Amino acid sequence: MRRLLCRTFAVLAFCAIAPAVLFAQQTAQAAGEDFVKSHYTKYEFRIPMRDGKRLFTAVYVPKPSAFPSDPGPYPFLMDRTPYSVAPYGEDQYPKRLGPSEEFEKSGYIFVYQDVRGRWMSEGEFVEMRPHIDDKKTPQDVDDASDTHDTIDFLLKNVPNNNGKVGIWGISYPGFYTSASIIDSHPAIVAASPQAPMTDLFMGDDTYHGGAFMLSANFGFYVFFWPQHTPEEPRHTRSASFDFGTPDSYEFYLKAGSLSDMEAKYLKGANWLYNDQFQHDTYDAYWQARDLSRHMKNVKCAVLVVGGWYDAEDLSGPYRTFYAIRKFNPETPITLVEGPWVHGGWARSDGSHLGDIQFNANTSQYFRTHIQFPFFEHYLKSKPGGAQPTAVVFETGTNVWRSFDAWPPQAATPKMLYFHANGRLSFDPPTEDTGVDEYTSDPNHPVPFVGYTTDTVPQRYMVDDQRFASYRPDVLVYETDPLTEDVTIAGPISPKLKISSSGTDSDFIVKLIDVYPDDAPDADTGNKRTLDTPPVHMGGYEELLRGEPFRAKFRNSWEKPEPLAPGKMTDIDFTMPDLFHTFRRGHRIMVQVQSSWFPLIDRNPQTFTNIPDARPEDFKKATEEIFRQKDAASGVQVLVLPQ
């Protein structure tokens, strides 16, 4: 961690009280551990699977006297993870149990399991293990069968259970939650896949629009390594990695191709990372791992959770929600989307992100009024757990709203068209000719943030985009100040008419809310000093949604095709959903560019195998965006009536 210097009296004061703060944090953690230990008894099992492998499982059972108002029997609440169920040892207790503190104080049998091939569980780990629809032998195992065998064991061997099972998880554990409810075990009555990895090529962690999510993936796989199980965390390699600079833009620009980076830094030792960047088309590897096509025979109630600003698994919740609704029309299912980063609903108050304020403790609202009642209802027959089809937070106005369908049935598609002189309007162009152009240089790519960072900051998804507006290789279109509120709800669909002097190019489209010049300064709730002036929101260009599209995939994800230099072609794609109101007096902006570095890898702008691209392959290209009546470009949104 980089060290901060105590340069002001305010910071000096903080440094003086830091030991007291640390002591308070340690005391709170100890208090949490004491509560869990005094109210629960821990058991550790190595549960046999149908193929003979054993999965390490920690089970926390309420003590008979701990919950006098509810002596049981209790339901199971399970979390399956590749990230370790530590602490290990029946005398070692975590500081908390369950999705939130409401659960551990209510009384559940909590189950945590190391998935196959991770940490203390036997077997081979397979990245997003493909589901097997037709299991013919005991050797045909997947995460649905592992969950089924685990539940059979728990029901028979853990006393004072009520025969009901709930399952939940965030991110990779969200994937395991989804996988576990395919052909659901009869005892599973409630499940909550949260930010579930669903299809890594189609918009989750690894590829967006065919472009490799460079910084996030390399940053993840330098510590997520294959294991030789059983293996406790203290025996694994360090999670640290020395980038040699605080500037990830500089690091990745000098690092070379993806293959060069792998050879230099990972040295062929992490095949998990190799699989990600070497499978750079939607081949059989990815198709087998698309969990959404297998979400059948889901018989339990489902609460799908995601965040509007999830930088890791933004698409997974929608793909999971739509698939379960399609294949299981009778299954109770709710989609919840709030103004959260990846997993932010579980560990933050959700009141703001970066400079953007939501004016409410949105995470606590979710935990108290949605998540806890959901499981209480289905696992303990408590009233009040049923939810509408969609419970979503409307940014801009900062209110929760409910709908009986998502996207809302009242939302209608409208196009925001590009016009001359950087204008954006719902009116189509009338000119016979019209084109805007810029030069894209892959050796001088557009950065994805306007400041120095050595990671992917979660706040980038709402960051001020003025730094990009000033660049000559970014096209900017914006409306006049709005005379009334405009609310969009659902997916966002860029529809571009383009040509390029190269044989491949990326096209990044960003939808932005531009604040009026007289917008009040942001109040982030932090104490400010002379070194931290207030955030001026006048003219702020808040990123709402941005996604890349790699042009060689315009006709097929499986079989990329080069661009014909100078020939007009269509670039049509869909960005993940949003629910936002542009307030009266604000402007709607769209930016178009051809690099977004190092969030995504660089496109050489020549049709080649990008992971192995050499320096001479990276060439400048002239990009053209057409905006005439017979070749109109723009962005389609779904607009709700006011």
Q: Where are the beta strands (DSSP E) in 515-642?
A: 541-550, 569-572, 575-582, 587-593, 621-626, 634-640
Is position 91 within any domain? Answer: yes
Q: How many domains does the chain have?
A: 2
Considering the domain architecture, whether residues 385 and 436 belong to the same structural domain is answered as no
Considering the domain architecture, whether residues 80 and 116 belong to the same structural domain is answered as yes
Question: Which percentage of the chain shows pLDDT scores above 70?
Answer: 92
- From the CB of residue 68, how many other CB atoms can be counted at a distance below 10 Å? 7
Among 371, 386, 387, which residue's Cα sits nearest to residue 166?
371
101 alpha carbon, distance to own chain's centre: 24
Q: For residue 510, what is the enclosing H or E element?
A: strand 506-514
**Which pLDDT does position 524 carry in this prediction?**
56
Residue 2 has pLDDT above 50, yes or no: no
Mean pLDDT of 548-575: 98
User: If you search the block for the tokens 């470009």, which residue do you land on?
Assistant: 633
Cα separations in angstroms, 17 against 30, 526, 532, 610: 20, 17, 20, 51
- From the CB of residue 354, how many other CB atoms can be counted at a distance below 10 Å? 20
Is position 240 within any domain? Answer: no
Tens of pLDDT, residue by residue over 166-218, are 999 999 999 999 999 999 999 999 999 999 999 999 999 999 999 999 999 99
How far the first Cα of the chain sits from its last, in Å, is 48
Mean pLDDT of 454-458: 94
Residue 518 has pLDDT above 70, yes or no: yes
**Which pLDDT does position 480 carry in this prediction?**
98
Is 622 in a helix, a strand, or coil?
strand
**Which pLDDT does position 169 carry in this prediction?**
98
Phi, psi angle pair for 283, to nearest 5°:
-90, -170
Is position 51 within any domain? Answer: yes
Is position 297 within any domain? Answer: yes
Handedness of CA 97, 98, 100, 102 (dihedral sign): negative
Residue 269 has pLDDT above 90, yes or no: no
User: If you search the block for the tokens 């920690």, which residue do you land on?
Assistant: 58
* Amino acid making up residue 392: V
Cα separations in angstroms, 600 against 209, 218, 549, 618: 10, 11, 10, 15
**Which pLDDT does position 308 carry in this prediction?**
98
CATH number of the domain bearing residue 358: 3.40.50.1820
Is position 47 within any domain? Answer: yes
Considering the domain architecture, whether residues 142 and 182 belong to the same structural domain is answered as yes
Given a contact cutoff of 8 angstroms between Cβ atoms, the answer to whether 168 and 158 are in contact is: no
Considering the domain architecture, whether residues 364 and 449 belong to the same structural domain is answered as no
Q: How far apart are CA 122 and CA 127, in angstroms?
A: 15
Q: Which of 350, 379, 403 is the last residue of a domain?
A: 403
**Which pLDDT does position 233 carry in this prediction?**
75
Tens of pLDDT, residue by residue over 326-347, are 999 999 999 999 999 999 999 8
Tens of pLDDT, residue by residue over 494-507, are 999 999 999 999 99
Is position 229 within any domain? Answer: no
Considering the domain architecture, whether residues 488 and 394 belong to the same structural domain is answered as no
Rg (CA), the chain: 25
| 38's tokens | 């005094």
Tens of pLDDT, residue by residue over 570-615, are 999 999 999 999 999 999 999 999 999 999 999 999 999 999 999 9
Confidence band, pLDDT 50/70/90 cuts, at residue 529: low
Confidence band, pLDDT 50/70/90 cuts, at residue 13: very low
Considering the domain architecture, whether residues 73 and 35 belong to the same structural domain is answered as yes
Is position 321 within any domain? Answer: yes
Confidence band, pLDDT 50/70/90 cuts, at residue 534: confident
480 vs 4: which has the higher pLDDT: 480
Considering the domain architecture, whether residues 366 and 462 belong to the same structural domain is answered as no
Considering the domain architecture, whether residues 467 and 386 belong to the same structural domain is answered as no
Mean pLDDT of 128-155: 97
Residue 237 has pLDDT above 80, yes or no: no
Tens of pLDDT, residue by residue over 386-403, are 789 999 999 999 999 999
CATH number of the domain bearing residue 535: 2.60.120.260
Handedness of CA 320, 326, 331, 335 (dihedral sign): positive
Residue 5 has pLDDT above 80, yes or no: no
* Amino acid making up residue 172: Y
Is 478 in a helix, a strand, or coil?
strand
**Which pLDDT does position 25 carry in this prediction?**
44
Q: How far apart are CA 442 and CA 512, in angstroms?
A: 24
Considering the domain architecture, whether residues 416 and 399 belong to the same structural domain is answered as no
Q: Which of 383, 403, 423 is the last residue of a domain?
A: 403
Q: How far apart are CA 169 and CA 31, in angstroms?
A: 25
Confidence band, pLDDT 50/70/90 cuts, at residue 16: very low
Q: Which of 358, 376, 403 is the last residue of a domain?
A: 403
Mean pLDDT across the chain, nearest whole number? 92
Mean pLDDT of 610-632: 97
Considering the domain architecture, whether residues 298 and 420 belong to the same structural domain is answered as no
Confidence band, pLDDT 50/70/90 cuts, at residue 385: confident
Is position 126 within any domain? Answer: yes
469 alpha carbon, distance to own chain's centre: 26
Considering the domain architecture, whether residues 453 and 472 belong to the same structural domain is answered as yes
Domain that holds residue 576: 412-640
Residue 165 has pLDDT above 50, yes or no: yes
Number of H helices, E strands in the chain: 14, 26
**Which pLDDT does position 19 carry in this prediction?**
38
Q: How far apart are CA 10 and CA 123, in angstroms?
A: 54
Considering the domain architecture, whether residues 371 and 417 belong to the same structural domain is answered as no
Pairing outcome for strands 399-403 and 412-418? unpaired
